[in-house]
Amino acid sequence: MSEQEIKNEAAETPEEVTIEELDQLAGGGGETI
């Protein structure tokens, strides 16, 4: 998943979902969104 796709996913994600959870969904690459 590219960084742009991660940002698009984050934009569609409810605020209750944390950055850490997004990172896990993105494969746990350890990159900062």
Place of tokens 């969904």: 25
Average pLDDT over residues 14-24: 73
pLDDT-derived band at 9, boundaries 50, 70, 90: confident
Domain of residue 5, residue span: 1-33
Q: Which of 26, 24, 31, 21 is nearest to 8 (CA)?
A: 26
Average pLDDT over residues 14-25: 73
What is the 3-state composition of the chain as percent helix, strand, coil, each rounded to the nearest 5? 50, 0, 50
pLDDT-derived band at 31, boundaries 50, 70, 90: low
Task: Tally the domains of the chain.
Answer: 1
pLDDT-derived band at 29, boundaries 50, 70, 90: low
